[in-house]
Structure 1
Amino acid sequence: MAKEKTNYVCSECGGTSPRWLGKCPSCGAWNTLVETVAQAAPAPGKNRLGTPAFAALAQTAEVAMLSDIEASDFDRTPTGMDELDRVLGGGIVEGGVVLIGGDPGIGKSTLLLQALDALSRRPSGASGGEPAGLDTLYVTGEESGAQVALRSRRLGLEHSQVQVLAEIQLEKILATLEQLRPSVAVIDSIQTVYSDQLTSAPGSVAQVRECAAHLTRAAKASGVAIILVGHVTKDGALAGPRVLEHMVDTVLYFEGDTHSSFRLVRAIKNRFGAVNEIGVFAMTERGLKGVTNPSAIFLSQHAEPVPGSCVLVTLEGTRPMLVEIQALVDSGGPSPRRLSVGLDRDRLAMLLAVLHRHAGIACMDQDVFVNAVGGVRITEPAADLAVLLAITSSL
């Protein structure tokens, strides 16, 4: 047998190289080239997915003036979970594609199963114009149908009307979507789906890119809202090519410590709503519950004033929140450490330099530790004053 030809594909941009390089020649990222089996050349008159060649179908497309195009706001369907609706911009949009990523075991599948169940339980003919229950489909590639059913029992979702499909082949998933025409479908996860048209393994750059592209086109053509679950790398970024985030309409990140009961869902891209919105959830025995007053979890309770603590008001999207900044300054010797949780470490070093130069408070021989309570990440400059006050107080 002839030896299979391989090439190297960049996991960031999808660019290819005939040999391994430390730096991707397309996007310049380091150590992102992964060896894959090269795809066979397409047959004459066909492209790689078996459709007629582009030259045979090339026709002039209709062009319209931007001012002549009729456009209206997108209709949104509330999921029944207020915190998730806040992050999505008000609810699910028909034909929208959402990508949600997070660490293993953080609660992605739990949250989506609860949302699908809530959508399917909408009372028919409810007062106030509320729509009837929606047809929902949960496609699982990592678990069996029995495992999904056991989880629903643990969550207290008795007599759930969510339809479940245990399948990882793209063509069968697309055929099922075409036949059932559900209103909302969840693909858990995109890294397990593969297409027969490609010879690479599931989870490879080529498979993830092509499967996501086909599911996105199916959502736009049929009006089915599709939610894709994605894995994350050890650095916390979504696994797979970066083009995956550009294909979808909304990108959500699930954050939080698996040892804590609180979870944050953050929107970093949303074509139908505001970005940087966060939803706060608490993990309970019955699944994830929305937290209506998140400031309570970002403040520690003190009976009396404590040195090294400062409370600030930060804005996450459209929601103002009270967050406590904690600082601990201790003698560190000739090589002091600067560590921060929830704040940028380089910004902490800059603030210490400002504190020394302009306030005359020196910390060059002190260990400085700064923490934002509750696991929230703070990026706005409004936190600088609170950090400086907390450090000075502890010193």
Structure 2
Amino acid sequence: MRRDDVLWAVASFLGGVALLAAGVYQHRWAPAPLFAVPLALTCLGVAVRRSRPLLALGLGVVAFAGDFAMGFSLGTVIVVTDNIYAAVRYGPRALGRWMLGITSVFAVVAGVTAGILMREVEMAAVILVQCALVGTTPVITGMIIRQLEEQAAAERARAEQVARLAELDRTAAVQAERARMARELHDMIANHFSAIAIQSTAVLSRADLDGDTVRTVLESVRENSLQGMTEMRAMIGLLRGEDEEAEAVRRRVAEAGELAERAREAGMEVRFHVDGEARDLPAPVDLAGYRIIQESLTNVLKHGGKAADVVVGYRPGAVTLTVDNPLDDAGRPLSGEDVITGAGADAITGTGTGAGVVSAGAGIIGMRERAALVGGEFEAGPYGGGWRVHALLPTEEFA
């Protein structure tokens, strides 16, 4: 039993006793103190109204029958209505429908019986209304309150579910943004730093290089450094929300020729070809295509490749990117994710140093993710005795 229910039961009993003391009852044969017995039963039902609602209903029915047999006590009848209300609100859900039918039939039968016995239509109507107020009204009230509570509980559950879904969406958005930033940082910084490390390793590993060769390498190192700084500023501007600055330096597939030129400066033989009529591409496709070509050429440079064929194909509704890397000196197809051993020296002089620069293995993953984000297709692997990177990026869905 709950403490507040017990207190409410005591208050109900005291109120009923006060009504008995004031003479608000009708008796047939029983003295006034005897009416306190059914009153006590109904109040006991109030004490257990939440924990044992069916018991409360049973006590109320027994008390009402006993009170009616002795006469009529207003206090007992009032408390019985609480017993009925509590049974409907806290008891089994189906009980409300049963109680509504039972109390409605009881009110009609009582009214008709009173009309027949008293032969007065007015009295029959009064009895019917009184029985309806005592029986049907508490049932309807309990059903309404219960329905409102269930709706409130459903709304709370729905709100919690929406909050959980929002948190999941937020977490997914954060993870996606982290992955995007990782790709951008890898493509913008790691590629330039890889070229710088490879070229500087080549210079340090050879003491017999002439001044012109050293100057060419250092100019390429400087160019990669400036490019890396420029793209890093663009990334910082994007993170700060400086959209205009970030858009101003957005990379495009049309600038892939500059990538080929920088690779030539690093000592590679790059054959660049555009198939089809060049056109403006949607921004996401432009950036994805540029980064895929950039990463492919960087991987060729990392792994000691001396030549690469780059083909940009403009097709109806799509653009294709193909980077072929032929066999190395040992006749092996070059993989984009192996350990780099002296690639800088190979790229410039054709002689390895064995320095051993380890690749992070994120290049192929990043290129595949970029292609997938724009709904494209990506393949990388041995092809025709060499290594091929091929991507097909659709453009129509961004039009």
TM-score normalised by L of structure 1? 0.20
Larger helix fraction of residues = 2
TM-score normalised by L of structure 2? 0.20
- Per chain length, whose mean CA-contact separation is higher, i.e. which structure has more relative contact order (CA < 8 Å, sep 6+)? 1
* Structure index of larger Rg: 2
